[in-house]
A and B are shown apart, each in its own frame.
Chain A
Amino acid sequence: QLQLQESGPGLVKASETLSLTCTVSGGSVGSPTHYWGWVRQPPGKGLEWIGRIYYNGNSYSNPSLKSRVSMSVDTSKNEFSLKLSSVTAADTAVFYCVRMFDWNRHCDSWGQGTLAIV
């Protein structure tokens, strides 16, 4: 059974870079059959799609965040990562890693989420 687990510092200082990692078990980030992505939910607000990455490293980010987002994939560790730079208090959120069925399709598996406070 596919499982995703986010990890990273719970507290980040304003103007610094938030770094999160998603460790995948029961599946492979090196498989070309799916995409991997990130979604966040600020406290009391709705979900926001951050972006996705493919097994070969090709990534695409939400235009509203594009200049601050960097994603990578490490097939040897079966994990993928997110970096969000120049964070402000508005970036405080629960961050979820997800598996996407395709580049523009539904998120079929989710991690439990990790709260990052700026």
Chain B
Amino acid sequence: QSVLTQPPSVSAAPGQKVTISCSGTTSGIGNDYVSWYQLLPGTAPKLLIYDDNKRLSGIPDRFSGSKSGTSATLGITGLQTGDEAEYYCGTWDSSLNVYVFGSGTKVTVL
């Protein structure tokens, strides 16, 4: 059971927007940076967002990250079929002394 809670799935039509929440603790999200990862079947996972809201070079600005207190959010605008994937948040937990990942969210483009 993950210490970072994400919704199991979100969906929207092409061109629409989705947001994925990541709820954590004071020793995790509340204490350190959050990053977001995209997992597409058959490909290497990809870092999208780091340090709460910074996009990795080459990641389109359709992807955005934000954080408030012990929660973080990934937003995807202008949804495309290629965005269908699993998305995970991650952060260092200073109480557990381990890097923790969220429970994962499956994005479906309707």
**A residues whose Cβ falls under 8 Å from a Cβ of B:** 4, 39, 41, 46-49, 62-64, 96, 100-101, 104-113
Point out the residues of chain A lying under 8 angstroms from B101, CB to CB: 39, 46-49
> Cβ of B35 and Cβ of A96 under 8 Å apart?
no
Point out the residues of chain B lying under 8 angstroms from A104, CB to CB: 32, 92, 99
Instruction: Provide the bound-state CA to CA distance between A64 and B97, in Å.
Output: 11
Point out the residues of chain B lying under 8 angstroms from A41, CB to CB: 39
Do A108 and B103 contact each other (CB < 8 Å), given the known contacts A46-B2, A49-B98, A63-B96? no
**B residues whose Cβ falls under 8 Å from a Cβ of A:** 2, 32-33, 35, 37, 39, 43-47, 50-51, 56, 88, 90, 92, 96-104
Closest A residue by C-beta to B98: A62
Point out the residues of chain A lying under 8 angstroms from B2, CB to CB: 46
A-B contact pairs, 24 of them (CB 8 A): A46-B104, A47-B37, A47-B88, A47-B90, A47-B101, A49-B90, A49-B100, A49-B101, A63-B98, A96-B45, A101-B50, A104-B92, A104-B99, A105-B50, A105-B92, A106-B47, A106-B50, A107-B99, A108-B50, A109-B47, A110-B45, A110-B47, A113-B44, A113-B45
